[in-house]
Structure 1
Amino acid sequence: MPNDYSGLRWSVATASLSMNPIHDIYTKFDALQKAGFTYTEAERWLVLCSKLGVEQIQVGSNDYAEANAPDEKTADDLRWLAEYASKLSPPVKIAYESWCFSERVNTFEHTWKIVQIADHPNLGLCLDTAHPPLAPEYGWNPTTGEGWTAAISADSIGRVKAVPKGKDLSQTTTLSGLPLDDLYLLSEKNAGESAKDGNDMGHANALQTFKAVLDQGWSGIVMFEFFEVLRMSPADPNIPYKYANGAALSEKRLLEALQK
């Protein structure tokens, strides 16, 4: 592994980069732990992120159908991640996120429960604005792409706007009455309909959602995730550059719109 990351470090720090390279490692532990492979894999990613200046890693709930480990096992593995990452210099925070297409852990209430079981100061909750509205518990079917409605998205934004002005979001509660004291990361994704073809650019209320969060006093880290699989699939070597520039332009326009 190279030792000189100075060129990348500046770019990462400027972009406030978060990474999601190890979302499913904890349910591989039972099969691979004897060889120590999975821990080693995680250690290498965490060391790399620390050297790059990445402040935190987003760990999504496992979407493998075979991922049936009990919550206590998942909490143990996340606690190990958090402890190892906390000892790096600089340390890297671990933020656990629910994925709506996970078989078991597909609501943010469930991920929050696991975070509480793990009970580590370097482990927090990642609240994604797409996955909660698209969770099966709320009507969405990840296998068919059906069940999502504009009303669900609007209701999600409405719950944010209902937070009393001047009150920090970390002092509020989730829909189930759980506190959000360990909320590290609020990320904005496309919570609209699935893309049907190359001309369907989605229907995300990115500006409205982002503004609603900021208006309620949120001052923590915000991560923008840019996805557009259909047009990124062709074997075009210029695609990474095109979409890096496109992502930067999208962020610039979003921030400009917030000033109006």
Structure 2
Amino acid sequence: MAYYPVIMSASLGRGWLHDFDFKMDEAAKAGFKGVEIFYEDLDYVARKIAGNDNPNADQLLEATKHCYDACERNGLEIIGLQPFLFYEGLVDRDQHDKLIEKLKLWFKIVKILKTNTIQIPANFLPANELTGDLNIIAKDLQQVADMGAMEEPPIRFAYENLCWSTFVDTWEMLWKVTKLVDRPNFGVCLDTFNIAGRVWADPSLATGKTLNADADLKDSIERMVKEIDVRKVFYIQVVDAERLNSPLVKGHPFYVEGNPARMNWSRNARTFMYETDRGAYLPVEDVAKAIIFGLGYKGPVSMELFSRTMAEEGEHVPREHAQRGIASWKKLVDRLGL
């Protein structure tokens, strides 16, 4: 298995501003070999088909077929669908049941996309809406894994810690839950931003770094190499983020009352790796090296991006993001000798 560059569909611009087909054209022209499909993109295509903001299931599946055809035409492998949000550990079990019903529709979607992976970001709802009991969290995830295993072909799940998730915000917690789930079709997505953005960076501080950033990251990635089974790493995402000019606290342009600073930072100010001209400053290459060389990971490498730049208008936006992403990939290949 070799390394190959993937980009997330949303990384090329917001769905309501940028045509999906055009984004896939630009991704392929830039040199990407695959794409992560963001559910939001399917939804916006479905809205166009429906002519309103409430497409039904059939219109969503029609939109999915349209998006698959756009990827197929461009020779883009679809490595997964994301994000299946706010699922595990819910206190409200009626909402849990509603999401299980929603997942049945997602199974139909991934089959049309001819992929086998659904990504679940670790829940980041307020703590009073969730349980921190890892056994309950694992039981919820076992339920979807068992459902996926019964599909033909089987569907697998890539669980991802977000650096602002309520309980599963580090790779350590991610791996602990994954071991508790203990299902062959349940693994992880490792993201350089979410790993370094939690243990090394803190956008709410003037330094942009945690107190013992360098030592803590070094210790963390050394333990990661020893503990994580690479067979459970379904794919990886490599991305950086901006060093902000001022702490992300009340009064900052990115500040949103009630949201964790890292969430607001992630939504507004990620960059591709090596984009120092855009403020990139995280030691994400160290994390990537640990995953690729330490763990021995091989497979798709996704250049996933969220940024305010994605909401700009104009055809230049998907084109520039695709070109920036592939430039980051090429530099990664060169520096790591992939």
TM (norm. structure 1) is 0.71
User: 1:173 and 2:226 equivalent?
Assistant: yes
Root mean square deviation of aligned Cα: 3.9
* Contact 2:81-2:119 at 8 Å conserved across structures: yes
User: 1:45 and 2:95 equivalent?
Assistant: no
* Distance apart, 1:152 and its partner CA: 3.4
* Contact 2:160-2:174 at 8 Å conserved across structures: yes
* Distance apart, 1:62 and its partner CA: 0.9
* Contact 2:71-2:77 at 8 Å conserved across structures: no
Which residue of the partner structure matches residue 288 of structure 2? 210
User: 1:248 and 2:320 equivalent?
Assistant: no
Which residue of the partner structure matches residue 123 of structure 1? 186
Letter in 1 for 2:213: I
* Contact 2:230-2:295 at 8 Å conserved across structures: no
Unpaired stretches in structure 1, ≥5 consecutive residues = 164-168
Which secondary structure state, in structure 1, belongs to the residue aligned with residue 189 of structure 2? strand
* Contact 2:192-2:238 at 8 Å conserved across structures: yes
TM (norm. structure 2) is 0.57
* Distance apart, 1:156 and its partner CA: 3.9
Which residue of the partner structure matches residue 169 of structure 2? 106
Which residue of the partner structure matches residue 20 of structure 1? 82
* Contact 1:187-1:224 at 8 Å conserved across structures: yes
Matches within 5 A, 1:192-203: 193-194=243-244, 200-203=278-281
Please, which of 239, 243, 247 is the counterpart of residue 317 of structure 2?
Answer: 239
Cα distance change of structure 1 residues 8 and 65 upon mapping to structure 2, 3 Å threshold? same
Q: What percent of counterpart residues are identical?
A: 19
* Contact 1:148-1:193 at 8 Å conserved across structures: no
Which secondary structure state, in structure 2, belongs to the residue aligned with residue 25 of structure 1? coil
Which residue of the partner structure matches residue 166 of structure 1? none
Cα distance change of structure 1 residues 248 and 62 upon mapping to structure 2, 3 Å threshold? same
Structure with the higher fraction of residues in helix conformation: 2
Matches within 5 A, 1:127-142: 127-135=190-198, 138=199, 141=202
Please, which of 35, 51, 57 is the counterpart of residue 118 of structure 2?
Answer: 57
Q: Give the whole-Å Cα distance in 2 for the aligned partners of 1:252 and 1:46.
A: 34
User: 1:76 and 2:139 equivalent?
Assistant: yes
Which secondary structure state, in structure 2, belongs to the residue aligned with residue 131 of structure 1? helix
Letter in 1 for 2:119: Q
* Contact 2:203-2:244 at 8 Å conserved across structures: no
